[in-house]
Structure 1
């Protein structure tokens, strides 16, 4: 593409969920209720599994971090999405868009790996019941959570840096209500072959992991 068509973007415009004014108030109320239920439920799980001595088992340990992950990506997108119902133009700065994308990818991938850790915990409980407490020690649980967060942080930074190091065209309208990977790829003027290959490899790897 011609270099004259490339430009430095300072912000993006999100199309949002709907452009019909009569639907904005009902949708705001609906999503606010969903977000509040999610907040209360996840915070309740985190607090209960932390303070209740009877819930200090690997199953509830992973459930606590599942709640942390769910709370993370809900908070990454939820509050800003609710604000968009009351503004005329849904704009987001270039760097804030990159930050939100990084956190969203981090938490979404973390959820998959925590589910895999929970599956392993159930497998050990069923197939190696006598050695369960030895295998699923607190140290192993902490190591599994640490590894998955480090790996997901690496994936998140890799994808975000790859996308935002490429050149965007002058068109800055994202056809979504948050900064997602595919809508951002459509705005790029540079070749997206490399980043698409990275995403494809990661998806294949995650799909293989989800089978266990």
Structure 2
């Protein structure tokens, strides 16, 4: 079992502890080049698998579509270099085919090759996947996720390598789809799901 070091600062000295991945009480996984090399039971349970069925498997099996897996990989590749942490929110899929929203936080341990050694934490979000949002394009889902993180149009444009005008156009269409008049309402629609009136 892979172990990770943690430091506990005492009154006079630091005590270095080591924790096995299994002992961490939230869904966590260690991966190399997006292949699951180790995970805890909490992670396996989140997706309904036995741990043994996930080890040495690609993360692709946890996505509804292979295009989602590819798009997420491209986005993370742009943000993980330099041993940085990064997070996003995306729809994942359990072994039974159930779709659900997850917030994923990851950290790379290689400056030059961000997917070589990385640790990820998964948190299931209480957010509906059904309704009008399933008809949105992948790009619209991506922009909605970034808007929900409080990012401004210019930041989103830079992150997605698009023009600010393009982001503004996408947001205008999303506002129309959601029946919203401002960003706060759009974020609420995204987080809570469409109201009965908009369905």
Q: Same fold (TM over 0.5)?
A: no
TM-score calculated relative to the size of structure 1: 0.25
Q: Which has the larger strand fraction?
A: 2
* More contact order relative to length (CA 8 Å, sep ≥ 6): 1
